[in-house]
Structures are given as C-alpha cells and as structure tokens.
Chains A and B, each alone.
Chain A
C-alpha cells in the first residue's frame, strides 16, 4: 500500500464517534450551521450501535426541582470529584443538563419513566444528595441512543460507518487541524477526510485493564491521537472502577461486564473467599458505600486470598428471597442466567472492573481545544468530573457537551475554510497504521492480555510508586514486542486482527500516560488511591495533572485547580439548606 492510495474526501463538519457526544453534535450542528453545510459522521462501528452511551443503565443526572437545584447538583459534582473538577465545566454541565433533558424528551422523543402524577421519576445514586437521576428502567442508554440514532439517520448527514480514525493531521505550522486519517474497515482502504471543524467524541474507554466494562470498540484511540498531535491531556491518572464486574474466566468477553449498582443498594451482600461479609470492615455504609470505597474493599480482600482458583469475591442476593430478586432485577437475572449463573439462588463471583475514564483532552467550556478546528466532547474531554465521576453524570456530560460542540462548530464553520494537511505527518500516521502489515504475522491477543494483567496489578485500584514504575517498564516491554508482531495482509477487508493491533497500540500509549500521571500524583483522591500516600494532599492546594508529548517523551506537570465558583470549605447552597434531601435507606 502506498501513500498515494489514500482516498481524499472533503466535508465541512466532521464528527468522530456516535455516542451521546457524537450524535448530539450532529443534531446541533445541523441546527446552527448555515444552510448547505456538509456534515459527516464517522464511526468505528455502526451509527448508534457502539460506544458506551448505549450501555448506560442507571440514568441521567439532572436537577429538576422538587427541592433539588442546579447549585446542589454542582456541589455534589465538586465534592464527588474531590475538588479537582474544572468548576466552570462542572457548572455548565449541571446547568445545561436541564435543557438537554427537555430536549431529549420534547425534540428527540425519549420517554423516561414517570411518577404516578405524570412528572419524571428521579432516584438517587450513591454520592448524591437529591433524587436526581432520570431513567428508563435500567436500560436508559438504549432509549437515549436509539432515539438520537433515528434522528441522525433520518437527517441525511453523510455516514462513514466502520471508519476508524487513526490520526489527526494538522496543518504544516501545526496550529490548526486539517483533517483526520481513517481506515475504511470494510475495505481496508485509507481515507483522509478534511474538514473545517472536527469534533472528537471517541469516548475514552479504559479497556487496558484485565476487567473492564466499556464496549469492545473503545480503546482510547482518541486520546492516543490527541497525544500524538501534541495536545495537553489532564487527570490521566483517574480511572473509575465499578465494584461489581462479572468474573467468568479468561475465555469469555462477559468477564468484567457490570452487575448493576442497584444490587448492592437493594441489600446485596459481598462475601469473601472465606465466606464472610467484609465491607463493614472498610466502611460504615457497608456494601452501600460509594464505588471507589467498595472497589478498594473488594480489591483489598482479594489480595488476602491466594487461591488461584477463586480470584474475586461473591455477591449474594438469595437472602432477599427468589421472588424479590426476580421481580426487582429481571434484566440482571436473565443476563446472568444466559451466561450460566444463577443470581437468584446462588452467589455470583465479582471483581472491580474499569468503567470510566475521567481524564481527557484539555478543553474550554465551549469544547474548543488548543488546536484550531478541533473540538472534543464526552468521555474524551477531561475536566468536568475531576477525580471521580458521579453515577449519572457521564451521559449528562456527553450529551450536554456534544450538543455544545455542535452549536459552536455550526457557528464557527462559517468563518473557517479547508486547510492543507502536513503531508509529512500524514505519511507518518499512514506508516504507523500499516506498520504491522510489514512484519511476520503473530498473535496479538497474548500481548493484550499481558498489558491488561499489568495494568490491573500495578496501575489499578490500589497503587504505589514502585508498582507503577514496574507497570511502566512492563508497558514499554509490551510496546516493544508489539512492534515485532505482524498482521497477515492478504485481505485487509474487515480485518479485525489488524484493528486489534491498532487498538493495543492506542492502549499501550495511553497506559503509559496513566502510569506516569499516577506516579506524579502523590496523594489519594477519588479514584486514584496511593497506598504510599493515602491522604488527600490538602484540598485547598488541589492540583491536577497535565500530560503532553514533547518530542518522543510524555511530560507530566501539575497545575493548580482554579476555584472559580466555590472554594473548599464553602458552599453555594443557600444557608440552612439540609445536607441531603435523600431519605436514609
């Protein structure tokens, strides 16, 4: 394959990814862009059928009155993120969620669950001080994405499905983005899509961990591309673990998938390998403590056990009675049964599982990045959640900021023109993508497993400097070996093994940054827990990490958090407001 084989394609607005961020960007760009603007949506899978927004179970956080306020939602977000969030971004998130939920109901056609009086039903996730989470049963993501997907499919945007973005191609002077290099996965051919504005919404996805929840298409491609393009990334050490991922062995893709949070809320018990309940040893709230606390409890318990046959702990629901379990969690019971487990009467083995990536590209509140023409929204963008994302704030974030990106691009595009790509970067990105095709074919999977084990062991739920350094060495090793693993190039059409290779390359690149940023943060905040630095390092002096590629190496620095809305120890809630509006369980 030669550089000249790259097909060239132009559009006005290009959107990468079709999660909440990508689909909302497409809709909003259509609403604000001048008549005749060409909008293209490119995605690694099928439109609306990949990514994590579709997998959202619990719901969507939005303050809709009944005592709850945007201020309260904001304070919960800041407290939850342990004062690391970018406060302007968090504020905009909470404020705009109110608009976005009305848009979802009134314009997009979602139909969320109602109270008997006809108002939206809202519930409280752990870490929230009000009943705030709007939902559709426990399949909220399907409702949101299906409705958005229909709208976008019917809107006539240009579709580039199963197009994988492999490189951001800047202009010669590097100040602006010229286009994105992609592989048309169905044919294996390359396509350079130039656009005046590009929104990246590829959704992060910490799938470099042995146990992980995100969909298979998410492999940190966006952040790896941003890194190579020289963009600053923040909070890269912040990986959220969900406490109860299914543990079903190495040989199944089911391993790591989420067993719903509600199981613990309803009284599900966690049982150690020794047959004991243990969560009360770690926290007064027991199994009902927040995700990070329970994840650490389980991890600590797992370390005590050296029986290789039984790695995780168990969740047991049977004491609630079979009828109750079946009635309250029909979806979970069926899912477990399909995979051969009995959630009703038996205990099911679980393990903490990497769920969400708080870190991401540094953006302003309009989703603009340091590179003209590039906008980033959703899980790819850093800042809104700080060190911990509240359950329900993820989909709020992707839909709110995806919409904002669409609005902003629609307005910006009029003043922009197509730019000439830097052909040397293009050549380098092309060479990088076809590199494995020039080597002797070998298996990719064992290396992926190796990276996943390493990240789980050394850069996982509980971290130490020594561990993360070991992790870094291991990542370097995997990266090196990967460069000797080739892919059979006899047929590049829908060649998943080639994409497995490219996935692993993105994961290695970002894993390294996670470990580096983790070493940099010598304190424990939210999802980042250092056994060697267990305290929070002083909230008033909060800093966040920023990583960027300088030459061939990644440099991590600390930057102070600007408390632009509220200072530690203070609140923006009116005086006399109760601490929580949620009735104790």
Chain B
C-alpha cells in the first residue's frame, strides 16, 4: 500500500536519521562509561539549542518514519485494510511525535523542573 510519496518520505527521513543515530550512539557509548546519571545527561543537554535541534529533528523524522513503517507492517502482517490503514498511521505518528517532543523538551529546555 505504499505510494511513491510515502516511500520517498520514508527514505528521506531514514537518510536524515542515519547521521543522527550514529551521533546518538556515539554519545551513548561515551556516556555509558562510568555509569549513567541524570545529571550527566541533563548537564550536557539542558539549555542547549543545538541538542534541541538535534533531538527535535530526530523525533520528527522518527515519528514519520516509524509511522509509515508500522503502516506497512500492519497492512501486510496485521491484515489492516481500507481507511484504517491511514488512520492508524496518523495515530502512531502523532503519538510518537507527542511522546518524543515531550522527552526532547524535558531534556533540553524544561530547566530540570517545572
């Protein structure tokens, strides 16, 4: 059920994510040395516009990419048909984005407390 447009969106978001994932993994590998702590993580990210953009783009891309991917799987393996397909895709996409945006906000500009 993938049309050219969804396909291109999935590929473009994937291409965007590739360097971000590598970046994220690198940071994690670095961070994990000596154990993880909230202070360490937040210390790096809080107030940083750069990290906000980094994770913001990531979340946006992952929401689009994941939603399209789940759409395919639900169609092929879940037997989802008709208008349900697109509805589900939007729900997953928006849900992922909402959760992701909340997380990004939390680790960058929430100031550690509300």
Chains A and B touch (C-beta atoms under 8 A apart) = no
